[in-house]
Every structure is written in structure tokens, then in C-alpha cells.
Amino acid sequence: MLKQGLSQKLLQKLSPQQIQFIQLLQLNTQELEKRVDEEITENPALETEKNESTDVDSNEEEKFESESDFDDSDENEDNDYDDYETGLDEYIGDDDGDYAYGGQTDPNEEKRELPIANVNTLYDVLNEQLNAVDLNEREKLLAGHLIGMIEEDGYLRRPLKSIANDLAFLNQVQTDEHELEKILHIIQSFDPPGIGARSLEECLSIQLSKMEQTHEVQQAKKIIHHHMDDLAKKHYDKLMKALKIDRDDLKGVIDTITHLNPKPGESQINTKAQYIIPDFIVTTQDNELHVSLNSKNAPELRVNRGYQETLKGYNDSTIKNKTLKNQVQFIKQKLDSAKWFIDAIKQRQNTLLQTMKCIVEFQKDFFLTGDIEKLNPMILKDIADRIGMDISTVSRVANSKYVQTDFGIFSLKEFFSEGIQTESGDEVSNREVKEFLKEYIGKESKKRPLTDEKLTSMLNEKGYNIARRTVAKYREQLNIPVARLRKEI
């Protein structure tokens, strides 16, 4: 049986303005700059001082003054404009017609453009080599398709049978695995060595085949083809027994293999220039810390004056027309959108500065000295409670953001860490413990690497009350393998 009834519910919904602010807050400096450019492109009512123009829609005012553009038969619709004109003054503004925001940044900040590296991509390099090979049109077509299927690390992971089906479906070219195999071997002769391989074993084998065929290279081939599992697990005794060689010979073979490139495609990718642009700048003057935003984080935005003057022209006009109403509605929407965006940028800047100043205050000793041992344990909740904001807001601020200090550039995430209890009862950052772990492992004998139990004992002797499982967790967070896999022959 169907029934109708009323019920009340409490629901929390985010307004479009709040959603826009949240999206802007989690962007770093580079992403924000791109986002601002996109918004300026999409919304002609928004502009920066560098592209300020009062010529936007310069013909709009003429439209308001020319009665021939409209149909006067809509006189009965005059009443429809009464409510519409209410509050129009807030869009027109004062005589200056400005609704702008220029962020507060460090006035001493050096303004310069970063250089842009001009490099060839992996596919450019391969296609250049393809053009130098004597192939017919069909073979070049197949080779070009295979090159396009190679992934950025240099591997061809799509099966040749599937590629043959792709060519038949997309290019109406009939081929088979045997023909593609021959073309692939040609591509595998290109630089960088190992390109176009379908597995790690094939990649390393290609590189070894291009080297002088010494005894070490011959033995390396045997390991690659038949003993990869023992090599990965560093079972050196098994390898010496299988190859019938001594420890010194095995050391030379292992050295040959370790100098091979397991990801040949990245030799091109890594040449691309990548820069870390700090979002914050912390400077020290007279033992006082000063926090400022990177100037790109606070763009000087303003509402286009031409649009405000257009609305002012409408306000002074005696013409009332439905077409005119639609045009003015469009302009009002663009003005609203521009003002919301400017407000969101301003709110973003205030939130970033407030959060960063709190972090600097919390970690004052570190920012003054640069000493990792001065870093205090700090979690998101510590900062959220101090500034009266939600933990998710602090998390968005810390995400993908960097700060420039007198001691280098650091990720904001590096300042958030758990606390470790010492024998004296003090609480220190677990980052301090991780630094000691890296130091101990960096100085260990690679023939007899330190086990997690030994590392735990060394840290306990230094005064850190820490369990073996915690040491293992920190080691894994540092991407350091277990002792057995760190062992060298």
C-alpha cells in the first residue's frame, strides 16, 4: 500500500563557491597559474592587470543606444524588468568600477621566468632513426605503428597479435605476428639499447648483445636467460654453483648486469626539465621568521571595467526589451562568476598563509637552525586545532606544496610526523629516527648488511624506545629493502 508523507532531514551541502574554494586550495603554484589562465580564457569579465582592457565588448553600449536593434512591440513586458533592475548598482559599482584583488607577497621576491628546456621525446628519437632505415612504405607504416605502441619506459607490452588486429581494424592493413616480429627486431636495433623489449629479460639481453662479447657478458647472458630468480633474490652461492665460477668472477658478471638500463625509455624522459616552484618563502631577519607567498600564488585579478560600464549603460537606458534582458543576464552571470573566483583566490591565500604561519611557529627551532633534530612531532590535528579549521583543510594545504627556506626547499608533508618516546621521556619526530636509519644503512658493510634486529638495537642504544616492527615500517617507507637484498658480493 502506497502512502504519502512529509519528513524533515538535516543535510549538509556545499555551495558552488565552497566547492570552487576547495578545488583551488589543493592546487600548487604551477597548477594554480594554469587554473587562473583557464578561468580568464573562459570568463571575459575576469582579467589581470597585465591584460587589463576596457575595449571588451566595446560595441555593447552602442547596442543599448540604438533602438533599431530591438523590437518595441515588447512594451507590455516593462513590468518584467522591475525586479530585474533591483540591486543592479552592486554590479555597476562606484565611479572607479573596480572589483579587484592583488595578493600580498614578498616585495623583495625576485621575479624571473624559469627557462624551458627544448628536448626531443622518445618517439621523436625513434622516428628519426626509422627515417634513416631503408624500408618500403608498408614496412615504415608497420614500424611507425609499433613505435607508437611503445610505452614511455621503452617497453612494448601489447601482444603482436593484438597489434595485428589493430592494424586490420584501424588502417585496413593485413599483417601477422611473423611480419611484425621482423619489423620489431629492426626497431630493437635502435638507440637507446633495449628499446622495444617485451620483458625485462629481453631488454637486458638486447643490451648485452650490443656489447663486446667478453667472458663476463657471456655469463651475464646465462644468468638473464636461466637464473633471473636467483639473481633477484641474491642467492650468490647458487649462481656460482650453476655457472661453475668463483666469487671474483661472479662479482664481475654482476657488475656487468647492474650497469644495464632496465628502463631504456626513461633515458629520454629524464631529460625533460622539471622544476619545483615553492609555494611559500620563509626568511629570517634578526632571529625572526617571516612567511610570504610566492607571487604566482596571489595573481592580481580584477573584474573587467568594460562589462561594468556596459551594465551602467543599461541602467541609464530607457529601452526595455527581452533580447536586451538576455544580454544583461549573461553579463551579470559572468560578473558573478568573476567575483566568486576572485573571492575564492583571496580566501585561498588567507588560508595558505594562516596555515603556513602556524606550521612555522610550531617548528620554529627547525626553521631557525635547519637542524633535523629540532623538528617537533606534528600531525594535521595539531595545526587544525590551532587555526580553528578542519583537518581536511590543513591536509589540502599540505598536499603538493613546497616551502623555500634558508636551508633549502622542503615539502610541507615533511614537517608532519609521528612522535617517538626517548629514554629521557622526551618526544621526538620519527623523521629524526628515519635520518639515523638512513645514516646507519648508508655506512653498513654491503657484504654483511645490518638486519632490522641490529638496527633496532642500535637505535635503542641511542635512546630511542622503538620496536623492530616499527624499524621495519620506517625502512619500507624509505624504500630500503631488507638486509638480504642489500647484500653485495
Domains of the chain (ranges; CATH) run 15-110+275-416 (no CATH), 122-269 (no CATH), 419-489 (1.10.10.60)
User: Burial of 423 by CB count in 10 Å (0-12 exposed, 13-18 middle, 19+ buried)?
Assistant: exposed
pLDDT score of 444 more than 60: yes
pLDDT score, position 428: 73
What is the average pLDDT across 246-272? Answer: 81
pLDDT score, position 425: 66
Kindly indicate the confidence band of residue 316, based on its pLDDT and cuts at 50, 70 and 90.
low
Kindly indicate the confidence band of residue 23, based on its pLDDT and cuts at 50, 70 and 90.
confident
* Global model pTM greater than 0.85: no
pLDDT score, position 286: 86
pLDDT score of 422 more than 60: yes
pLDDT score, position 65: 42
Question: Dihedrals φ, ψ of 43, to 5°?
Answer: -120, 105
What is the average pLDDT across 257-266? Answer: 88
pLDDT score, position 115: 45
